[in-house]
A and B are shown apart, each in its own frame.
With several copies, the nearest count.
Chain A
Amino acid sequence: MVTTVTRKRVEILIDSALAPRLIHAAADAGIEGYTLIPVQSGAGRGGRWRDDAVSGASAKSIFLTIASEEKAARLVDALAPNLDAHGMLLTLSDVEVVRGERF
Chain B
Amino acid sequence: MDIVIATLSSPVILFFILGLAAAFARSDLTIPEAVAKGLSIYLMIAIGMKGGVAVSKSGFTPDLAAAAAAGVALSFALPYLAFGLLTRFGRIDRVNAGAVAAHYGSVSVVTFVTAVEILDRQGLGPAGYMVAVLALMETPAIISGLLLARRGERGDGDRAGGLWHEVLLNASVVLLIGSFVIGFAAGAEGFAATAPLFDGLFRGLLCLFLLDMGLVAGRRLIETRALTARAAALAILIPLVNGAIGTLTGSAIGLDTGSAAALGILAASASYIAVPAAMRLALPKADPGLSLAMSLGVTFPFNIIAGIPLFTMLAQRIG
Q: Do chains A and B touch in the complex (CB under 8 A)?
A: yes
User: If A47-B225, A52-B36, A57-B292 touch, does A21 touch B162 (CB 8 Å cutoff)?
Assistant: yes
A33 within 8 A of B: no
CB distance from A16 to the nearest CB of B (A): 9
B205 within 8 A of A: no
CB-based contact B272/A54 at 8 Å: yes
Which single member of B213, B220, B225, B280 contacts A18 (CB below 8 Å)? B280
CB-based contact B224/A55 at 8 Å: no
Number of interface residues, chain B, beta carbon within 8 A: 30
Residues in A with CB closer than 8 Å to B288 are 15, 57-58
Which single member of A47, A54, A55, A56 contacts B223 (CB below 8 Å)? A47
Which single member of A17, A49, A55 contacts B296 (CB below 8 Å)? A55
CB-based contact B225/A46 at 8 Å: yes
CB-based contact B281/A54 at 8 Å: no
Residues in B with CB closer than 8 Å to A46 are 225-226, 287, 289
CB-based contact A52/B280 at 8 Å: no
Closest to A53 in B: B33
Residues in B with CB closer than 8 Å to A17 are 276-277, 280-281
CB-based contact B162/A54 at 8 Å: no
- Residue from A20, A57, A58, A85 with most neighbouring chain B CB atoms (10 Å): A57
- Report the separation of the CA atoms of residues A82 and B283 in the bound assembly, to the nearest whole angstrom: 12
CB-based contact A57/B284 at 8 Å: no
- Report the separation of the CA atoms of residues A51 and B30 in the bound assembly, to the nearest whole angstrom: 11
CB-based contact B281/A21 at 8 Å: yes
A102 within 8 A of B: no
CB distance from B95 to the nearest CB of A (A): 10
CB-based contact B224/A54 at 8 Å: no
Q: How large is the interface on A (under 10, 10 to 19, 20 to 34, 35 or more residues)?
A: 20 to 34
B18 within 8 A of A: no
CB-based contact B225/A86 at 8 Å: no
CB distance from A91 to the nearest CB of B (A): 20
Q: In residues 194-248 of chain B, which contact A (Cβ within 8 Å)?
A: 212-213, 216, 219-220, 223-226
CB distance from B171 to the nearest CB of A (A): 8
- Report the separation of the CA atoms of residues A86 and B287 in the bound assembly, to the nearest whole angstrom: 9
A99 within 8 A of B: no
Q: In residues 19-64 of chain B, which contact A (Cβ within 8 Å)?
A: 33-34, 36-37, 40
- Report the separation of the CA atoms of residues A15 and B219 in the bound assembly, to the nearest whole angstrom: 19
User: If A21-B162, A46-B225, A46-B289 touch, does A51 touch B281 (CB 8 Å cutoff)?
Assistant: no
Q: Provide a sorted-by-A list of 21 A–B residue pairs whose CB atoms are within 8 angstroms.
A: A17-B276, A20-B162, A47-B226, A48-B223, A50-B219, A52-B36, A52-B220, A53-B34, A53-B40, A54-B40, A55-B292, A55-B296, A57-B273, A57-B276, A57-B279, A57-B280, A57-B288, A57-B292, A58-B288, A82-B284, A86-B284
Q: In the A-B complex, list the 7 residue pairs whose CB atoms are closest, starting with the nearest.
A: A57-B276, A53-B33, A17-B280, A47-B225, A53-B36, A55-B272, A52-B216
